[in-house]
Structure 1
């Protein structure tokens, strides 16, 4: 058995705090018993490469820890994947088994029912998908990021690397020593997996694992704030991890008079750029917000503000496992890193080039100022490749040109050039409805600006016909701002 497997065994042996999941409260011996039952079954059947599409809760945690104990590979599939993305991930991962909620439908013709999975209340499906993609040696987790074509790209991480980052995070939290962490982000999100589960287990604290419905999620980008507030008051956490949109929801609720739990002592914010105005509003409300920074290829968190080392406007100092440098204005990170990509593509040699622009101040705090490439991150922490969405839009006979943007926004806007200048708005809206129906909800266009043709003469296209993104956004900035002041439209094109 590997050293990391032994470490997880020891972690389970030493953990003394309960897990709170909905109506179920399970103590440490009960958790260990469930993990051991499932681990024994996986060991006996040899099914050690397991994909999962499970809600947040005890089943997710037990499956993940069982795979860690047996030295297996976990392929957690985001709940916001479209059906096409789900099929692609299952086919390329080479997973032998898919674990889903008991009420989930079969995963297509390639799946057949598997025997019950002891220790969890989930349905198992044998997968007959061939050998799938090559995995780098030592892979323990395959987590997905957005690819340039819209197909998710699997990033392969070792258990040792995951533990290294989690250990750094547990150390960073000692200044606060939270006694209960509430997982608000989907557990398929690497950030919550590493910082919310592993780091909390290492710190010896309680974990609260409500379902996504109990938290208030509707889809990947919908959130019912009253439900979220009830969840916070029910579990009384001391620490939570937020994407910018969740922080905005809490700030707006507090500004309107809603009471937040007095228990909150550490609100870590990451997964996307946080507007300085939002941080200022949180400060007025005395919310203990600490911004951080990380990326999947570096196994999640790289930098983090802490109570004993904090600078406003920065993403914090590098954690002990990470070394950050600036080369030609770009942030490069060495230290903990991925093994490679699903399919055998290796990571480039040397430090990881993040594609983010920034600088390091005199006291070692890292400041992120922008993104080098066109990929943007929504306020919900979803990576969106605009070229992918734009190509889908321009494949429709009604749309000639398109540019999509949504950096740090709750939803995306498109600058659209119709095929005919006299095209009725209802026709253009119908085209958007058709395209949106085939996209995962985090990539859909929720509002649009009607534009004149992009031309090189106007400075909006390059010589070879590619859009000049910054120029187009600047040219239509007023219209984009106005679009975000209006309600987003529904699938029917009416304002919501």
Structure 2
């Protein structure tokens, strides 16, 4: 168990909180050693599972993974890659991505993950800025995209394609490289060595490369694994396992992947983020815990609600949901709530768990707030949700829900080894050994430190309660100031609106305006269900955005979100759009964050129309 939080108060409020580390810092070695250590200590342990063409899964032992890592590392050496060279990897969440990560480290390289959905400009910029000398892509389309940009990246000497047999090509190329060469390169790596450059999504301007060291990852995963012991340890004789489906190009998925290798937890990879393919993989793999973002959990809930409504059992589902929330709200529910939960478990909650594979007991949720209602619901349905908060610059989680002391609505206490400070203007500052080495300077070929006396200013706004739990209220740069001088954080309103099954994305506006408004886009799956249930399949999308019944539903969702804020901060007008905010449209980052400037620019007319009828 972690030690009690150490609190610092000022003006009657908690302004700083820290939690001592649960494990000592790693003094030698690197992430490259993990596969070799696992193979030596437990060679027959199943550390990965891979999917056969028929949909079944087979295990990869620790010994097999270490052999794969070693062979690919020798292939990278054979192609002339030197210690410290950067290897870019552009692929979905696959076994090969993780294999390349560890093989590159074993060869003394630095990996540079690239989102597979990145534009040509983004790929060019990342390769140029990082100084990558080699790149592995997943398929022919990505290879064509990169080939068209190679004249702008003269330092890129190698391009391999996974679908064209890149792993086997590297394996064959390395056959004549002595084993001792890779062993020697691994031996040169220290914890402080650069491990990876992870480029932020870039909601404005060009993405910045966050320089993360091996020591950053060790501090992060070792404390997280120790703190979340029930997640990563065998329970009831059942070994832990997870199916990774979030992008490994994002630090959140990458951190959990490394943590699982560190803890010898069996991992499967699913390239599909949602839909029937993911549901099929979950059913076949049957993980014990999942890494998710709120969007995924919202979809699980919405699908279950829609299925119940189609069967004429929507009201019963709603009663079950209310019971689950009451049960999940307290650690000691009343006898009547316990009885009601037992009644609904085989009817509703078991189906929720079945949608996640049937054996999931824990979900680690991050990226944005899940919301009180959904967190309480899943806890009541038998799935414990650990929420966390962090950034690429902090190697993922900086705070996390304590296993035995959850506090719904917060992002938990500092991860052991971390300190959290709230500045006078409400900005959240973080410190700890997992805080990055700095932003990469492509011109200098090195990272530039970016801390203030050891503290990293996150740009997020938040508050600490009397026990040190952190609540995030929004982004400092996103703060709206109405013409009446009222400060409004759009994040909580947007998060609450997005939780509605009809809403895909939304953006709250109102900077230098008389009141707050919102642009709303419709969720394709939720809208299709709503149309079927109300026999409005004949209406075109533009007609639906003007349909009184649909607008009334959205208004109800807006009213619900407005309960979070004062009248002056509430949404007074909204516009339902016929087009969505997507990554391809340029309105979302690969991690689904809003590009607010792009939305403001492209929907300026719609925004002006929401204020056109206003009179002083």
Q: Secondary structure at the match of 2:143?
A: coil
What displacement does 1:347 show?
0.9
Task: Give the TM-score of the pair, scaled to structure 2.
Answer: 0.57
After superposition, the Cα gap between the structure-2 partners of 1:362 and 1:100, relative to the gap in structure 1 and judged at 3 Å, is same
TM-score by length of 1: 0.69
Corresponding residue for residue 29 of structure 1: 63
Aligned to 1:144: 199
Give 1:421's aligned residue: none
Q: 1: CA distance between counterparts of 2:49 and 2:388?
A: 26
**Contact 1:99 / 1:123 at 8 angstroms: preserved in 2?**
no
CA contact (8 A) 1:78 1:188 kept: yes
Aligned: 1:164 with 2:224: no
- Cα distance change on mapping 1:230 and 1:40 into 2, 3 Å: same
**Partner SS state of residue 73, structure 2:** helix
Alpha-carbon displacement from aligned partner over 1:119-165 (angstroms, at most 9, x marks no partner) = 825899xxxxxxxxxxxx83210001133643211111101111210
User: Partner residue of 1:85?
Assistant: 122
CA contact (8 A) 1:99 1:122 kept: no
Question: Larger C-alpha radius of gyration, 1 or 2?
Answer: 2
Who is 2:427 aligned against?
Answer: 330
Match of residue 13, structure 1, among 40, 58, 66: 40
Q: Does structure 1 retain, via aligned residues, the 8 Å contact 2:32–2:102?
A: no
Contact 1:158 1:339 in 2 (8 A): yes
Q: 1:479 aligns with which of 554, 558, 573?
A: 573
Alignment correspondent of 1:191: 252
2:261 matches 1:207? no
- Match of 2:262, SS state, is helix
Change in Cα spacing, 1:354 to 1:84, as seen in structure 2 (3 Å) is same
- 1:37/1:371 Cα in 2 relative to 1: closer, same or farther (>3 Å)? same
Contact 1:101 / 1:121 at 8 angstroms: preserved in 2? no
Residue aligning to 2:81: 46
The corresponding residue for 1:341 is 439
Unpaired segments of 5 or more residues in structure 2? 1-26, 53-57, 172-191, 235-239, 308-350, 442-446, 481-489, 499-503, 511-540, 546-566, 586-601, 603-616
Q: Indicate if the aligned counterparts of 2:213 and 2:437 stay in contact, CA closer than 8 A.
A: yes
Using the TM superposition, give the Cα deviation of residue 479 of structure 1 relative to its aligned residue in structure 2, in angstroms. 3.5
Deviations 1:369-411 (A, max 9, x none): 23222199xxxxxxxxxxxxxxxxxxxxxxxxxxx99954443
| CA offset digits 1:311-364 (Å, max 9, x no partner) | 111211211121112222222111021111121443133211112222223333
SS in 1 for 2:224: helix
User: What are the residue-to-residue correspondences of 1:68-467 with 2, within 5 Å?
Assistant: 68-103=105-140, 104-106=142-144, 107-108=146-147, 109-110=150-151, 120=167, 138-147=193-202, 149-176=204-231, 177=233, 179-195=240-256, 197-210=257-270, 212=271, 215=272, 217=273, 223-224=274-275, 226-257=276-307, 259-260=354-355, 261-328=357-424, 329-335=426-432, 336-343=434-441, 344-350=447-453, 351-374=455-478, 407-408=494-495, 409=498, 410-413=504-507
Distance 1:268 1:62, change over 3 A: same
Higher relative contact order (CA 8 A, sep 6+): 2
Q: Could you tell me whether the CA contact under 8 Å between 2:46 and 2:59 is conserved in 1?
A: no
Correspondence for 1:432: none
Structure 1 pair 11/113, CA: closer, same or farther in 2 (3 Å)? same
Partners in 1 of 2:160 and 2:381 — Cα distance?
Answer: 52
Relative distance call for 1:148 and 1:247 in structure 2 (3 A) is closer
User: Aligned in 2, Cα 1:349/1:71: closer, same or farther, shift over 3 Å?
Assistant: farther
Rounded to whole Å, the distance in 2 between the matches of 1:241 and 1:145 is 20
Please give the alpha-carbon distance, in whole angstroms, between the structure 1 residues aligned to 2:161 and 2:359: 40
Query: Contact 2:438/2:449 (CA < 8 Å) preserved in 1?
Result: yes
Distance 1:475 1:304 in 2: 29
In the alignment, structure 1 segments of 5+ residues that lack a partner are 125-136, 218-222, 377-403, 417-445, 450-472
Q: What is the alpha-carbon distance in structure 2 between the residues aligned to residue 298 and residue 168 of structure 1?
A: 13
Change (3 A) 1:316 1:148: closer
Report how far residue 239 of structure 1 moved: 1.0
Structure 2: distance between partners of 1:314 and 1:229: 29
Going from structure 1 to structure 2, the CA distance change for 1:353 and 1:475 (only over 3 Å counts) comes to closer
The count of aligned residue pairs is 390
| Structure 1 range deviating more: 345-354 or 72-81 | 345-354
